[in-house]
Structure 1
């Protein structure tokens, strides 16, 4: 059984490698990872048109049919990744009177609408479960810092407010390298998500929560032999 699972995982990695090889790159490219159960070919074509209207390109990869290593808060069913400085700078500037900002904000909301209110069936080697579809916005701030923004339980108006508050993140993050954040519509601010590391590693009952950056640093130290 274990051998069959390992063979399956190797085959899935080959499929993912082939899909990744078709991704675009460049200073005006936005990356999208999605599940085809949420976005049809026609909807994807429409999103590409909306992206091109801003002078940008969409590079999309379908993750459907790929078993995940775990079901966790570290990935969404639809993940929009802004990694190029010219694009992230529009959001992080906080210049809400800028026409480019308005266009990018509307584009992000358009992507979000594709999964809003939908359900997803997620499968790992151990579990299959249905849960609300999630949309995450991943932003590369600079070479050393990035942030993944979760938009759970937000309506369109609240999401718009959340996007307007993204520029505040840079001020609050300081030197933190990798951070997972959730928007609190009551306090109207982004707050750091504490990661359930035992769930991530063993799917066991919660015993300890730490910030994502500390968790990633712990993994790095273990891999390097610094931490036993």
Structure 2
């Protein structure tokens, strides 16, 4: 309990890092502080990918690319976007109240809050309009639900090869998600290479870095 605490998860100790200075030390010494877990559940593996699972130099490289986007000044630029999305939600709530007979309305805001967060996240990460293209986030949400279920079940050796309903659904959702992201990636790459103006978001930033690195590698081989 408190800022210096740990718990045991079975035979594995988990330490809670609460001090910002300690967090900085861990992030900067990524070769010393390695992740002490390995994802073995096949369903969980489909969702937990990328920088979450990277270690060493690969993790450092991706973090260096992404860090500028998450600096305070960059995050402040999200305020107008958050306000815009919030205003849209509030307008819908006001409509519900005004259309009610007694001027009051009981509403479960959980769904609307999820939509709000998804709307802001989709713009910040992918630069897409969530209201027009919800499929990517719906696929991620479904995979997240499967992941929650999978973590509650013991992972037996070879279980990922069993034709269970969960495994089949996980593979289907993952395939569809990869197809949609690949299509989006190809469209953005084409726009970047053609010199078209692209929005400032995490997805485009990673693509620009990849294109630049590939060009550097090509020059190095000449």
Do these two structures clear the TM 0.5 threshold for a shared fold by scoring above it?
no
| Higher strand fraction (1 or 2) | 1
Between 1 and 2, higher relative CO (CA 8 Å, sep ≥ 6) is seen in 2
TM-score, structure 2 as length reference: 0.26
| Higher helix fraction (1 or 2) | 2
